[in-house]
Amino acid sequence: MAGNEPILRAVGISKSFPGVKALHDVNFTLCAGEVHCLMGENGAGKSTLIKVLTGVEKIDHGEIYLEGKSILPKTPLEAQAFGISTVYQEINLCPNLSVAENMFIGREPVSGCVINWKEINKRAQAALSKLNVKIDVTQSLDTYSVAIQQMVAIARALDVSSKILILDEPTSSLDRDEIDKLFEVLRRLKEDGIGIIFITHFLDQVYEISDRITVLRNGELVGEYETSELPKVQLIAKMIGKEFDVLTSFNKGNAASAKGCEEDSLCNDAAFIKAAGLGRQGGISPFDLSVRKGEVLGFAGLLGSGRTETARVLFGVDKADKGELYIKNKRSAVASPMNAIKNGMAFCPEDRKREGIMGDLTVKENIIIALQAKRGMGRCISAKEREKLADKFIELLSIKTSGPDQLVKNLSGGNQQKVILARWLATDPELLILDEPTRGIDVGTKTEIQKLVVRLAEEEMAVIFISSELDEELRTCDRIAVFRDRQKIAEISGEDLNQNCIMQTIAGGQKHA
């Protein structure tokens, strides 16, 4: 497999966006007839690399060679002409058109000056049957399941050009059966000599399908490895950038999950919130979880492992379809964020630009808004009280702003984050959920926020702290719940609370270690 000729070579690729170095001197080689996984955490540069290869973004430095010839695709269309096709996670087809038309639009066979629909349908049927998909191609695409739509996208990509196929998170909305079918197809394509770049967050799938792995971190190349020679734990270590100490892991790793659960059951009485078998189809498998007052519970796991999904279910953003939730030992139906807020919960979402900050409102208004929602729209918060609250939190969190009437969009990322924190602290919550509160902010502010979290816990607040950075979790959390593949797989606490043990758990036991 790996002995094959390299079909695509990217050498010394660099790409900067304003203020960010997305890729720095990255090399990447894809061989014909292999499945090559591109791995890395959020912001590692995976998607930028794909965009560069497919002509969506221009490179600053570096060269791309296709079968030894230097190429520079400027648009996705040009990349297609070179033989590079991409199938995205969000299926980029038109749901209103027929399956056949989706495969041939833009390059329809024309006889005279009339589109030849018969020919289109015939060729679509043939292309799909190569992938073992037998459907009525004249039906509109949206009558079929996501898995079929994915197959149609792949069939289109292969029919357009078939040297290199890039699959960006193709499995995230498929179930196990559908994934098996997809992998079957990929194996067949591999035999035909097509080079496949595969991006996924599911580690098991990486080991199931890939021949080689390239790991990126912070826009830099970590290395290229044969999948069979890279244990899972090592892969995770490379992705998150921590060395894994194999010797110490063995004695500590085993006891991890058992101990966590034990401790959990002892403290049930003091739990502020307790979930029993709570779950949501397509979001997170049923899980048990409890958080005590004055405790910081961390959620660890790779991106897409189900951390955020769990938080959203707890807060009622996504409705749970299984299990029960108890707040202060009382059965509760958290059906909406409003309900959760009334029950003393607060949630700082991951994407502060989209889900948190209202940039065109002032710092003061942003701080007040959740409190206003909690009290009800009818009840006024007096101007004096608003002023007092805003001043209090600006001082407490040392938000750098020219005053409470500054527009939030003019603040730096770290200070915006603090404003969101202030917003929820103003509601005086008993449980605070923080989803990636320190992403994209400077080190100084990071430390401040971590300190604040610890202090809040000391003041008897329950905190759920979600972060991709293990360091940060270890520094702030009393207990860490570990997630993998949309499942809560373990809780770790006490002396097991160290990097090796967590990485071991994320990797899933000793299988590859």
Partner 1 sequence: MKKPQLSSKHVPLAITVLLFVVLFTAGAVKYPAFLSMQVFFNLFIDNAYLIILAIGMTFVLVIGGIDLSVGSVLCLVCMASAHLVENKGMNPYAVMVLMVLIGAVYGLIQGSLIQFFKMQPFIVTLAGLFFGRGAAAWISIETINITNKTYNDIAHYRVHLWGDNFISIGAVIALVVLVLAIYIAHYTKFGRSAYAIGGNESSAMLMGLPVARTKVLVYTLSGVCSALAGIVFSFYMLSGYSLHGQGMELDAIASAVIGGTLLTGGVGYVIGSLFGALTQGIIQNLIMFDGTLNSWWTKIVIAALLCVFIIIQRLLVARRDSQKAKGNVKTAL
Please report, as ranges, the residues that interact with partner 1 according to CB under 8 A: 75-77, 80, 88, 91-97, 101, 105-106, 108, 110, 113-115, 132-136, 138-140, 142-145, 147-148, 151, 156, 177-178, 181
Closer by beta carbon to partner 1, 85 or else 406: 85
Closer by beta carbon to partner 1, 137 or else 327: 137
Closer by beta carbon to partner 1, 58 or else 511: 58
Using CA atoms, how far apart are residues 87 and 257, in angstroms rounded to an integer? 38
Q: Measured from the CB of residue 18, what is the shortest distance to partner 1 in angstroms? A: 21
- Strands, DSSP E only, in 350-486? 431-435, 462-466, 479-484
Closer by beta carbon to partner 1, 20 or else 94: 94
Q: Measured from the CB of residue 78, what is the shortest distance to partner 1 in angstroms? A: 9
Closer by beta carbon to partner 1, 197 or else 213: 197
Q: Measured from the CB of residue 55, what is the shortest distance to partner 1 in angstroms? A: 11
Q: Label residues 397-418 b or e (16+ Cβ within 10 Å = b).
A: bebebeebebebeebeebbbbb
Helix then strand then coil, % of the chain, to nearest 5:
40, 25, 35
Residue 489 burial by CB count (10 A; 0-12/13-18/19+): exposed, middle or buried? Answer: buried
The neighbouring-strand residues paired with 168 are 199
Q: Measured from the CB of residue 135, what is the shortest distance to partner 1 in angstroms? A: 5
Q: Measured from the CB of residue 181, what is the shortest distance to partner 1 in angstroms? A: 5
Closer by beta carbon to partner 1, 105 or else 407: 105
Closer by beta carbon to partner 1, 96 or else 398: 96
Q: Measured from the CB of residue 93, what is the shortest distance to partner 1 in angstroms? A: 6
**CA nearest to 313, candidates 342, 272, 282, 271:** 282
Closer by beta carbon to partner 1, 109 or else 494: 109
The neighbouring-strand residues paired with 296 are 463
Q: Measured from the CB of residue 59, what is the shortest distance to partner 1 in angstroms? A: 19
Closer by beta carbon to partner 1, 60 or else 108: 108
Using CA atoms, how far apart are residues 126 and 99, in angstroms rounded to an integer? 12
**CA nearest to 302, candidates 44, 481, 484, 46:** 484
Q: Measured from the CB of residue 155, what is the shortest distance to partner 1 in angstroms? A: 13
Contact call for residues 44 and 468 (beta carbons, < 8 A): no
**CA nearest to 309, candidates 333, 341, 287, 332:** 287
Give the orientation angle of helix 413-425 with respect to helix 443-458, to 10 degrees: 10
Half-sphere exposure of 509 (CA within 13 A, CB side): 3
CA angle 239, 241, 246 (to 5 degrees): 95
Contact call for residues 446 and 476 (beta carbons, < 8 A): no
Closer by beta carbon to partner 1, 171 or else 468: 171
Q: Measured from the CB of residue 335, what is the shortest distance to partner 1 in angstroms? A: 19
Q: Measured from the CB of residue 350, what is the shortest distance to partner 1 in angstroms? A: 23
Contact call for residues 53 and 133 (beta carbons, < 8 A): no
Using CA atoms, how far apart are residues 458 and 288, in angstroms rounded to an integer? 25
Using CA atoms, how far apart are residues 182 and 209, in angstroms rounded to an integer? 10
